[in-house]
Amino acid sequence: MQLPRPSGLITLLTDFGARDPYVGIMKGIIKRHHARADVVDLCHEVPPQALRVGALFLGAAVGRFPTGTIHVAVVDPGVGTARRFLCAYRHECFWVGPDNGLLEPALPAGEAGELRAVDAKALQLEPQSATFHGRDVFAPLAGLLASQRLGFRAVGPRIDDPVRLPASTRAEVVCVDRFGNLITNVAASRVAPGITVGIAGRKIPLRATYADGRPGEIIALVNSFDLLEIAQCQGDASQALGAGAGAAVELE
Amino acid sequence: MQLPRPSGLITLLTDFGARDPYVGIMKGIIKRHHARADVVDLCHEVPPQALRVGALFLGAAVGRFPTGTIHVAVVDPGVGTARRFLCAYRHECFWVGPDNGLLEPALPAGEAGELRAVDAKALQLEPQSATFHGRDVFAPLAGLLASQRLGFRAVGPRIDDPVRLPASTRAEVVCVDRFGNLITNVAASRVAPGITVGIAGRKIPLRATYADGRPGEIIALVNSFDLLEIAQCQGDASQALGAGAGAAVELE
Amino acid sequence: MQLPRPSGLITLLTDFGARDPYVGIMKGIIKRHHARADVVDLCHEVPPQALRVGALFLGAAVGRFPTGTIHVAVVDPGVGTARRFLCAYRHECFWVGPDNGLLEPALPAGEAGELRAVDAKALQLEPQSATFHGRDVFAPLAGLLASQRLGFRAVGPRIDDPVRLPASTRAEVVCVDRFGNLITNVAASRVAPGITVGIAGRKIPLRATYADGRPGEIIALVNSFDLLEIAQCQGDASQALGAGAGAAVELE
């Protein structure tokens, strides 16, 4: 498989929030390794340690960035322990993050993609701290890849046993967005026309867009992530239904 | 009228917040259309669907960015309906957003400026989703304009009937800033020396700067947007007065 | 002392938050002065007017950005009064901010570093507003320095009497991070192996990393800022202890 060259664009997805300088410092380290890196925030408000939400957001980036983008993801409850650092190539982009399931949308499937474990020792990227591997490992690794001084296939050995997220066993709300919309794990392909969606003891009609209901009406629709979403027209569905992440969803 | 060239700088103003990857994905799409685009966040915490606050913040950008900046604004309660997409030239910059009043500070006035309705079909920018036109239309449009592969006058026909915000009929608080300062819709030109400002049953003295009052004192002043603002010295005026967006203001 | 050239990278640290367009407008002004400036957010959620937290976050940037970075810091309770504008060179970077102690980590020590008071009048940077010197003074100053049209030694006279933060007289919590971790002012050098940390009437054991305790256990560790931190494994120490900024810390 022929790989594209890194484009110089690096995205960051973390659960660090905006309250502290953690993200800013990661950008400084990236720039120390590649001054011309173009760093874009994908999202930093993943709920603390919420791997499934992080994976959902990463998945939303697939196909939306230029070929050769390096996506760095740090939601890392195991920081400081011996878990591996991963580097993947898939969907024409590079993906960097801890081996804990977060990189789910970037893991190889069949012939598609390639996955490597980062040999931090050989690359002289052994962590200086026990708490901030975003700064000590992931940021310099991304900078080195973007600078093309380090090639993807030189980061470490190929592996095929990444940690996976536990499979979802039921339809449920994964997260609530800023507007109070409930984003579920139900793929658009499972949403047949005419179905009714059950949540919190209510039956919700399927519509095409937010503006297709009366003000205050609660509707279901396929959202821009190609997932089933439950929204309140001109309102906050999470508040109106008293439902949030983890709430069960039924399709009828 | 001779137009400047787009500078490559694109700003984003939305009500998307930081909690979700919506803004990050818009940036990815922009970069897919123009890799060297320089994207700056103007603000993403416009209260959901608050067109008047969005227009105020856009107005604050007038004259503060380089000639040829492309300002993209997405506060869009009508997403998914048939409302038009607009592209304006004014104040030496380009402005992109929905036709719902949000672009008020960028609309032509007399001979100044030029306004066009985007022909999304001709430009092959028809939305892929019913809920995220920021990604499907506004981001690629901005990227194309920045790349200079699409000229401003090729986006679609000139129009002169944009949707306007309802005129303000009274002096009031438009929004509360992070410090609890109450930002009003009263222009500096209406603020004569020696006036007293009434709000929430209180009479507030006019001062030159935050530091001109005693700690805890509530004062009025002309702020950096050239608007009347009510502040508490070393405190939070909104909390102290129990007043927020929509509160009536009197000038005496 | 020979100074490096500004690298074109500018960081911003403020207490402006994300709710308003203040930071976006500063970036516009910077770009007006130096279109190719590369602006990175260090942090904008310093609690309003919290100089000590701002200084801590600035200190965390030392050594983490490229040589020649210009760090701009605006936490400025005295905006609009006669306090000086400072420009420092230290740690191979330039530092711009108000003369109120915020720039503590950048102030000269012995032979290291150089400090100047900005002659705003001579540079034609006199504030247009009484409330937003980030826009009127600090942003254009940073842009001019980055563009190399203004040299560091031309900003104004050398001084040696900056305002200093009051010395800390006791060990205490400076701020709480997004994860509820309590960040103290205790340097790693004071943390001997085997010590116990007292806070809120509790004795807390010292560990190496977050993952070294049982879920729910409260531990102390040296964090990535090289400061003592108190954390709850997979939890929120601030909530669990009912302790926040200002809480006293004891070392035993």
Chain C hits for A21, CB-CB cut-off 8 Å, are 13, 42-43, 57, 60-61
Which range among B13-27, B187-201, C23-37 shows the weakest confidence by mean pLDDT? B187-201
Identity of the residue numbered B11:
T
- Nearest-CB residue to A42 (from B15, B21, B48): B21
| Alpha carbons C107 and C162: distance in angstroms, whole number | 8
What are residue C95's DSSP bridge partners? C71, C88
Q: Number of helices (H) and strands (E), helices first, in chain C?
A: 5, 13
- Nearest-CB residue to C65 (from A22, A31, A39): A31
Which range among A101-105, B75-79, C103-107 shows the weakest confidence by mean pLDDT? B75-79
Residue of B9, B10, B12, B19 for testing the chain A interface, max A β-carbons within 10 Å: B19
| pLDDT at residue B130 tops 90 | no
Average pLDDT over residues C158-167: 95
Average pLDDT over residues B100-109: 97
What is residue C91's predicted lDDT score, i.e. its pLDDT? Answer: 98
| Alpha carbons A118 and A87: distance in angstroms, whole number | 7
Task: Inspect the interface and report whether the beta carbons of B223 and C131 lie closer than 8 Å.
Answer: yes
Q: What six digits make up the tokens of A220?
A: 């279901």
Window A:122-181, CB contacts with B under 8 Å? 177-179
Task: Inspect the interface and report whether the beta carbons of B23 and A41 lie closer than 8 Å.
Answer: yes
* Mean pLDDT rounded to a whole number for chain C: 95
What is residue A138's predicted lDDT score, i.e. its pLDDT? Answer: 98
ipTM for this prediction: 0.95
CB-based contact A125:A150 (threshold 8 Å): no
Task: Inspect the interface and report whether the beta carbons of C9 and A35 lie closer than 8 Å.
Answer: yes
Min Cα–Cα distance to chain C from B154, Å: 26
| pLDDT at residue B149 tops 90 | yes
Query: For the whole model, what pTM was predicted?
Result: 0.96
Q: What six digits make up the tokens of C9?
A: 């990278």
Query: What does the DSSP assignment read for C142-205?
Result: HHHHHHTSS-GGGSS-B-S----PPPP-S-BEEEE-TTS-EEEEEEGGG--TT-EEEETTEEEE
| pLDDT at residue C129 tops 90 | no
What is residue C208's predicted lDDT score, i.e. its pLDDT? Answer: 87
Query: What does the DSSP assignment read for C95-123?
Result: EEEESSSTTGGGS-BTTB-EEEE--TTTT
Identity of the residue numbered C85:
F
Q: In this structure, what are the phi and psi dihedrals at residue C197, rounded to the nearest 5 degrees?
A: -110, 130
| pLDDT at residue B121 tops 90 | yes
Partner B contacted by A14 (CB < 8 A) = no
**Closest residue by Cα to residue A2 from A145, A105, A107, A152:** A152
| Alpha carbons C246 and C184: distance in angstroms, whole number | 9
What is residue A81's predicted lDDT score, i.e. its pLDDT? Answer: 81
pLDDT in tens, C209-219: 888 888 999 99
Partner B contacted by C8 (CB < 8 A) = no
Quickly state the pLDDT bin for B20 (edges 50, 70, 90).
very high
Partner C contacted by A66 (CB < 8 A) = no
Average pLDDT over residues B14-36: 97
Q: What angle do CA A10, A12, A17 make, to 5 degrees?
A: 155
Task: Inspect the interface and report whether the beta carbons of A209 and B49 lie closer than 8 Å.
Answer: no
3-state helix, strand, coil in chain A (%, to 5): 20, 30, 50
| pLDDT at residue B12 tops 90 | yes
What is residue B193's predicted lDDT score, i.e. its pLDDT? Answer: 87
- Nearest-CB residue to A208 (from B25, B32, B130): B130
Identity of the residue numbered A14:
T
Quickly state the pLDDT bin for B234 (edges 50, 70, 90).
confident
What is residue B79's predicted lDDT score, i.e. its pLDDT? Answer: 83
Q: What six digits make up the tokens of B199?
A: 């709000």
- Nearest-CB residue to A210 (from B27, B79, B135): B79
What is residue C156's predicted lDDT score, i.e. its pLDDT? Answer: 98
What is residue C128's predicted lDDT score, i.e. its pLDDT? Answer: 86
| Alpha carbons A233 and A214: distance in angstroms, whole number | 7
CA distances from A188 to A56, A191, A221, C208 (A): 14, 5, 9, 45
pLDDT along chain A (252 residues), means of 10: 95 97 98 98 96 97 98 92 94 98 96 96 91 96 98 98 92 95 95 92 91 90 94 94 96 89
| Alpha carbons B209 and B187: distance in angstroms, whole number | 17
Task: Inspect the interface and report whether the beta carbons of B57 and C20 lie closer than 8 Å.
Answer: yes
What is residue B13's predicted lDDT score, i.e. its pLDDT? Answer: 98
Min Cα–Cα distance to chain B from C177, Å: 17
Positive or negative, the Cα torsion across C226, A133, B20, A146? positive
* Mean pLDDT rounded to a whole number for chain B: 95
How large is the greatest C-alpha to C-alpha distance in chain C, in angstroms?
61
What is residue A80's predicted lDDT score, i.e. its pLDDT? Answer: 79
Average pLDDT over residues B127-141: 93
| pLDDT at residue C201 tops 90 | yes
CA distances from B184 to B44, B164, B170 (A): 20, 19, 10
| Alpha carbons B220 and B237: distance in angstroms, whole number | 10
Average pLDDT over residues B206-216: 87
Average pLDDT over residues C62-83: 93
Neighbours of chain C (3+ CB pairs under 8 A): A, B
| Alpha carbons C198 and C191: distance in angstroms, whole number | 13
- Nearest-CB residue to C35 (from B7, B43, B209): B7
Q: How many CB atoms lie within 10 A of CB C154?
A: 13
Question: In C15-110, which residue ranges form alpha helices assigned H by DSSP?
Answer: 22-33, 51-61
CB-based contact A116:A158 (threshold 8 Å): yes
Q: What angle do CA B34, B70, B77 make, to 5 degrees?
A: 105
Question: In chain A, which residue ranges form alpha helices assigned H by DSSP?
Answer: 22-33, 51-61, 133, 139-147, 237-241
